Amino acid sequence: MTNRKKLIIGGVVALAVIGISAGAAIAQAEDDRPLRGPVRERATQAALDHVGGGTVTETEVGDDGAAYGVEVRRSDGSQVEVQIDENFTATGVEQDDGDED
């Protein structure tokens, strides 16, 4: 293989890696958006109903494969994250230890 072909292939690979990284960063940024307005109200109510009350500490779009994520601090001080689908139905609950990936 000639040096020119190696440079072209290297350039294509580098551009692909940059594109994939940029796409992942954009997707992550979109997922971290807080909920607002009626969507926030419906998602938080669904989460609170599902876990039996508490205080909502954070909301976000598209968390962990769900349409919405709602973090709730329960009266005992524990923190959970409730996954809500696009129909505002709770689909799961995870203990939230506060650690970020």
Q: What is the largest CA-CA distance in the chain?
A: 68
> What is the tens place of the pLDDT at every residue in 12-62?
776 665 666 545 444 444 557 999 999 999 999 999 999 999 999 999 998
What is the DSSP secondary structure assignment for residue 82, as one 8-state letter? E
Strand partners, 83: 69, 92
Is 56:48 a contact under the CB 8 Å cutoff? yes
Look at residue 92 and tell me whether its pLDDT is greater than 80: yes
Strand partners, 84: 68, 90
**What pLDDT was estimated at residue 28?**
46
Output the pTM of the full model: 0.66
**What pLDDT was estimated at residue 14?**
67
